[in-house]
Amino acid sequence: MATLLYLVHRLPYPPDKGDKVRSYHLLQHLAARHRVFVGTFVDDPADLAHVETVRTLCAGLHAVRLAPLRARAASIAGLATGEALTLRYYRDAGLARWVRGVVQRERIDAVVAFSSSVVPYAEGLGLPLIVDFVDVDSAKWSEYAGRHRWPLSWLYRREGERLLAYERAAAARADWSFFATEKEAQLFRRLAPECAGRVEGMDNGVDAARFAPDPGRPSPYAPGEIAVAFTGAMDYWPNVDAVGWFAADILPRLRERHPALRFHIVGRNPAPAVRALAGPAVNVTGTVPDVRPWLQHAAVVVAPLRLARGIQNKVLEAMAMARPVVAASACADALRAAPGRELLTAHDEAGFADQVAALLADAPRAAAIGAAARDCVLREYSWGAHLAALDRRLAALTPPAQHPPVAATALAA
């Protein structure tokens, strides 16, 4: 057992969106084995209600209230200094003071940083450092540049370049770096060859006991409709792009064959472009108390992400619920799932419509793909198995310690 400092850019609870699913399970895993002090940000007022829950999982917590509008304004200063705007966005003097104080008082053995944006707080501490980059975020911004007009294209391209420079510096400083898939790890090795020997893929997992079909779970859908669902945080631009593409270019093809089909966009904080899609053929739910009924009772779950980075928890959760999934190739390529047997893939509008229509026309095949998908999750996506890689790296960097870990039992999302 060691005493660890865990830095994470967003409160790691509740595990209701991609990065928080991973950061929560990482915290839960660490806290069951070590004494953990957590420094983090709260960027959603709704998450203030969960600060005390996180406090029960760790030996100490410092949660900074982050106002997104103020943080965005502050980040613009990076244009003058040459920094990545992401780093300025998460800069807080109070958190920096707390980190220094914890290191002085608690004899911290190592730092685990979740995302490159919090690595600056580990600089100058002289402690072993493990960074979970999750995705190559710089590549995301570079991809955004190709999808937007000037001046956003210029701004996103600049962010991609500046952030990559910092990611390389952070990985050079770190003793070990993880990414959410081996594909992302391979990309980073190409972009930062000087760090290639200390970079590893560490897949996500799924809470397959929670995300499991339940015959007693009621359906949220109207009788007689054919429900096709997408789940995710709907203020995240790749998700906004995905549902917009599906609604505009794929849904009309499907409704020509299945007039009763309705597309359900399930997720919190729908952006204006998402809310504008609502109508007779599209339901935009906003926040729901539990996403599982929307997954379990969907005829098909779709993941038409054209700008997907890393592993998509939304796809794994749908597979765990034994639902047939049609995913864009960018999503499927990151998964240990057999295309055609455990999920279906599509490259364009016509292909997506054909794959969904084929499942709707063949219920036994759809059920078989859903069952195989759940088997795949049970076989390949255990959190404990994947996070063992983190245990190995920490054991090599930290001495045995006498502090007992904080009891960390699994919490419901």
What does each of the 413 residues of the chain score in pLDDT, given as a tens digit?
899 999 999 999 999 888 999 999 999 999 999 999 999 999 999 999 999 999 999 999 999 999 988 898 989 988 988 999 999 999 999 999 999 999 999 999 999 999 999 999 999 999 999 999 999 999 999 988 988 899 999 999 999 999 999 999 999 999 999 999 999 999 999 999 999 999 999 999 999 999 999 999 999 999 999 999 999 999 999 999 999 999 999 999 999 999 999 999 999 999 999 999 999 999 999 999 999 999 999 999 999 998 876 678 899 999 999 999 999 988 888 888 999 999 999 989 999 999 999 999 999 999 999 999 999 999 999 999 999 999 999 999 987 654 555 544 444 43
Q: Using H for helix, E for strand and C for coil, what is the string for 341-363?
A: CCEEEECCHHHHHHHHHHHHHCH
CA 393, 394, 396: angle at the middle one, nearest 5? 70
- Enter the tokens of residue 169: 């510096």
Q: Do domains 3-205+383-397 and 226-380 have the same CATH topology?
A: yes
Q: Which residue has the tokens 């979740």?
A: 114
Q: Which CATH class is domain 3-205+383-397?
A: alpha beta
Provide the 10 A C-beta neighbour count for residue 348.
12
SS3 assignment, position 99 = helix
Provide the 10 A C-beta neighbour count for residue 279.
11
Pairing type for strands 300-303 and 226-231 reads parallel
Residue 80 to residues 154, 316, 405, Cα–Cα distance (Å): 15, 41, 44
Classify residue 407 as exposed, middle or buried by CB count within 10 Å of its CB (0-12, 13-18, 19+): exposed
Task: Supply the Cα-derived Rg of the chain in whole angstroms.
Answer: 21
Q: Write down the domain spans for the chain.
A: 3-205+383-397, 226-380
Q: Which CATH class is domain 226-380?
A: alpha beta
User: What single-letter DSSP state applies at residue 339?
Assistant: B
